[in-house]
Amino acid sequence: MDRVLKRGSPEEELIRRAREARSNAYSPYSGVKIGAAVLARDGSIYAGCNIENSSYGLSNCAERTAIFKAVSEGRRELVSMSIVGDSEEFTRPCGACRQVMVQFNPRLRIIRVGLVDGYRSETTAEKLLPEAFNPSSLTRKS
């Protein structure tokens, strides 16, 4: 769902912080720069960028960088997240990021912004990854 952000709103601050984090992206192989920021229930904001590695599997996306920073600081109640890239295509979280988002809050609000194409949308983690693997899946008996 698209909507207008109010000036000075928490959403606007999340987008600002994600844009700022995007400038720190380390992407010498793809050239794609992504920034993300996550808001914890206590009002703390944690931002991250994508970090590539010549061994591609060791790279880390901006979304997971931001979430891992929050969790490493003791914040596990996550409320919303912004993801900023050049276009709609580059603001789609990968499957691993979607799984991490759902782990910490299936109803995590996601605001996606494309800087070049003006794309802006809002969704939730559970809509991005329906029927996700979750902690209750671990207790299921066969």
Q: Known catalytic residue: 63?
A: yes
* DSSP conformation class of 83: E
Q: Could you say which of 13, 63, 88, 89 is catalytic?
A: 63
Residues paired with 114 in a beta bridge: 85
Q: Which residues of 22-51 are buried (b: 16+ CB within 10 A; e: fewer)?
A: beebeeeeeeebbbbbbbbeeeebbbbbbb
Tokens at 96, concatenated: 């691993």
Torsion of CA 92, 68, 61, 24, to 10 degrees: 110
* Cα 41 to Cα 75: distance, rounded to the nearest angstrom: 8
Tokens at 102, concatenated: 């759902």
Question: Cβ neighbours of residue 133 under 8 Å, at least 6 residues apart?
Answer: 99
| Active site positions, annotated | 63
